[in-house]
Amino acid sequence: MTGIDELLHIATDIASEAALLIRERRRVGVDVAASKSSAEDIVTLADRESERLIRDRIAALRPNDGFLGEETGADRGTSGLTWVVDPIDGTVNYLYDFPAYAVSIGVVDGEPDPATWTALAAAVVNPVLDETYNAARGMGAHLNGRLLSVNRDVQPQLALLGTGFSYSASRRVGQAAVLGGLLGTFRDVRRAGSAALDLCNVASGRLDAYFESGLHPWDQAAGALIAAEAGAKVGGRGGGPATQDLVIAADESLYDVLEGMLAGL
């Protein structure tokens, strides 16, 4: 096993191991370790333990690769590849035992910046539902081994839209105003609380489209590849790539509608 296959297996195995760890820690009870950008933006002991496990496993198997993790930051490697890790995406859900959280691991070629990297392989594991999403570039996306495909040619008024909000209260108010402008056009909206799972939900057809502004690289690295490999168009503002500023994912026809409606932001 070489190349992209190997990266896919490593991402999937390590995400699965970390997912079991966070499920076990959640069973015992969750401690908030600290607040980050705001009081709402928290890190739990399980986030830290999960990232430590993932970092150690990757370092042992791929010592020349770089690493970018939500909780421990960046280490440059020498191979040109970087592992981009969210040890628990959906941390607030995790705190409340709301069953939409996941371990997210992506491996990218290039700088750990969604605007410029090429994602190679990805795994997102939701330990509550026992669901493993994974994808490798050019090899499709899978949920528990089943090939995924996005919903095609859905009219906006019949389309279920996912989105998310910032941890910054003032930014949330602006995001709500944007959403207000979309609600009259789409069937309904879900805010499930995990960007990684939102992107996987586009891949599996549980959502027709998703957009969010202000995501960090680790929130989107794995999910964006999984959505793209399931046939979604994934991009950002003005026909450009997905960035931290804006991520849109949907089948092309719906993508174009959503991109047009978000153009004036």
Are the CB atoms for 210 and 198 separated by under 8 Å?
yes
Instruction: Determine the residue type at 249.
Output: A
Own/partner contacts of 113-119, CB < 8 Å, gap of 24 or more, are 113/217, 114/217, 114/220, 114/221, 114/224, 114/241, 114/242, 114/243, 114/244, 114/247, 115/236, 115/240, 115/241, 115/242, 115/243, 115/244, 116/241, 117/82, 117/221, 119/221, 119/222, 119/224, 119/225, 119/228
Residue 16 engages ligand IPD in binding (rule: CB under 6 A): no
User: Taking contact as CB under 6 A, which single stretch among the options 73-81, 202-210, 211-219, 257-265 is the one that binds ligand IPD?
Assistant: 211-219
Residues 154-173 interacting with ligand IPD (rule: CB under 6 A):
164-165
Residue from the set 51, 65, 71, 219 that interacts with ligand IPD by CB under 6 A: 219
Q: Which residue is nearest to ligand IPD (CB)?
A: 164
Write out the binding residues for ligand IPD, residues 75-104 only, by CB under 6 A.
86, 89-91
Q: Which is nearer to ligand IPD, 152 or 191 (CB)?
A: 191
Total residues in contact with ligand IPD, by rule CB under 6 A? 14
CA dist 110 and 77 (Å) reads 11
Window 55-74: contact mask with ligand IPD (x via CB under 6 A): ---------------x----
**How far from the centroid of its chain's Cα atoms is residue 117's Cα?**
15
Region of 4-12, 19-27, 151-159, 212-220 interacting with ligand IPD (CB under 6 A): 212-220
Contacting residues toward ligand IPD, per CB under 6 A? 70, 86, 89-91, 164-165, 193-195, 212, 214-215, 219
